Amino acid sequence: MSFLDVALVILALAFLAALVRVAKGPTIADRAAGADVCLFCVVAALAVLSVELDEPAFLAGVLVATLLGFIATISLARLVGRRRP
C-alpha cells in the first residue's frame, strides 16, 4: 500500500465525517460547511488519483470542481448571512 493509497483512505474517511455533518447539522451553516468539506475531499481525491495514475486529464476536473465549489461557497455564505427584517 503506497502513500497515495493511504491518502485516498484518509480522504474517504474525512468525506464520510463531513457527510455526517451534512446530515446531522443543526444549522444551515453547519450543513454548508460540511458540504464544502465534502467537495474539498472530492477535489483532493481527484488530484491524488491524477498523480497516482499519471493522468493529467483529471487536473481539468480539479480546476472545474474548485471553481464551482468557490462559487457555491460564496452563494451559501450570502444566503446564510442574509438578515431578515
Classify domain 3-81 at the CATH topology level: Helix Hairpins (1.10.287)
pLDDT digits (tens, 9 = 90+) for 15-38: 999 999 999 988 888 888 898 999
- The closest alpha carbon to 51, from 7, 13, 10, belongs to 7
Q: What is the pTM of this model?
A: 0.83
pLDDT of residue 5: 92
Answer yes or no: is pLDDT of 85 > 70. Answer: no
Please return the burial class of 32, using the count of CB atoms within 10 Å of its CB with bins 0-12, 13-18 and 19+: buried
